[in-house]
Amino acid sequence: MAHAGLVEEVIDVGAVSATVECPENGAVVLFVGTVRNHFDGRAVQGITYDVHAEMAAREITRLVAEEEAAHDGLRAALVHRFGPVAVGEASVVIAVSSPHRDLAYESNRRLLERLKREVPIWKHEHYDDGTSTWREVEPLGGAG
């Protein structure tokens, strides 16, 4: 496995990408999710990410391992921030390499969608007017 986990510091996008690059793979697809400066018409100052550190690290590792196990030659990396993240900074970086591009595109998207549904991470959005909102969207398996 290339690289999977949570970090508090700014993500080195090139370093994450480098972990999946290899001579056998002719495609690298890189997704960089950044904090945008607006949500629902409101000006956003930044996002603080709350995480269950142990579970989230384990789930991210599992997602990456499952993706790699399901496709010969595929290499994947997924790194997510926790704590405060400023507007414009990357909150998540996903890199996938594969022998051909179709799989790399599909796999990268699948990892992002699964991350959003299966990993205990929460956005706390802070607005310019001093208020904040927790974004709570996807129930984890077994909820309710």
Partner 1 sequence: MLPAGPESTPGRRYPAPMRVTVLAFASLGQTLGWKRREVDVPEGTRADGLLAQLLAEAPEMEPHLARLAVAVDGEVGPRTAPLRDGGEVALLPPVSGG
* Footprint of partner 1 (CB under 8 A): 33, 49-50, 52, 54-56, 58, 80, 91-92, 112, 115-124, 134-144
Decide if 21 contacts 97 (C-beta within 8 A).
yes
Locate all alpha helices (DSSP H) within 19-100, ordered by sequence.
53-70
Closest CA to 137 of 126, 125, 129, 127: 125
Min dist CB 63 to partner 1, Å, is: 11
Nearest Cα to 124, choosing from 113, 135, 114?
135
Does residue 104 contact residue 27 with C-beta atoms inside 8 Å? Answer: yes
Closest to partner 1 by CB, 101 vs 124, is 124
Kindly tell me which of 69 and 140 has the beta carbon lying closer to partner 1.
Answer: 140
Question: Shortest approach of partner 1 to residue 98 CB, angstroms?
Answer: 22
In angstroms, what is the minimal distance from the CB of 127 to partner 1? 15
To the nearest whole angstrom, how small is the minimum distance from the Cβ of residue 24 to partner 1?
A: 29
